[in-house]
Copies of this chain bind each other. A is one copy, B any other.
């Protein structure tokens, strides 16, 4: 088993934090995305979308998509549960993980992809789209601050994969000057709490 990783990209960090929370060790190989190694045929054979991370199993099966990789380990190493327990809780964790991914991380990433120097020449950039992503991400963080007034973590009283996605989104936002405002007290409290867990260093 091997995890194809990139230390500079946000999505692989989701999996590294997840594995740290679970106490799972997986051999890691760095993919040099700055040099475009993930766009070369050898890597595209593992993931035709060219994204990292990818988990390669011993039988050669390649699992792409951070959350698919996490779910694989959730099945093989169920404790502690990071996707909830029971039908209702698991559905709510899924809902919150998706809200943090589609409603925050994808906006933060969209801003970076469409406004940064890093992606110039790598993709067709639409700067107006990047600017709208930033505006919407900041509005979403304001909303999230209100949500966190009534509970400790994103999906409830327990730390879950939804917290991992939100942490990675907010930390990656710094690259595009998308930051938590000091007056967003609940978001500040939550961010300090999840950042103080050893897994956050992953």
A residues sitting closer than 8 Å to B (CB atoms) are 48-49, 57, 61, 63-65, 67-69, 71-72, 75-76, 86-88, 90-92, 94-95, 98-99, 103, 124, 126, 128-129, 132, 143, 147
Contact = CB atoms under 8 A, between A and B. Distances in A.
Contacts of A68: 91-92, 94-95, 98
A90 B68 CA distance: 8
A86 to B, nearest CB: 8
Given A49-B103, A75-B87, A67 B129 contact: no
Copies in the complex: 2
- Chain A binding site: helix, strand, loop or mixed by DSSP? helix
Given A103-B49, A124-B132, A128-B126, A87 B94 contact: no
Contacts of A48: 143, 147
Contact of A49 (B86, B88, B99, B124): B99
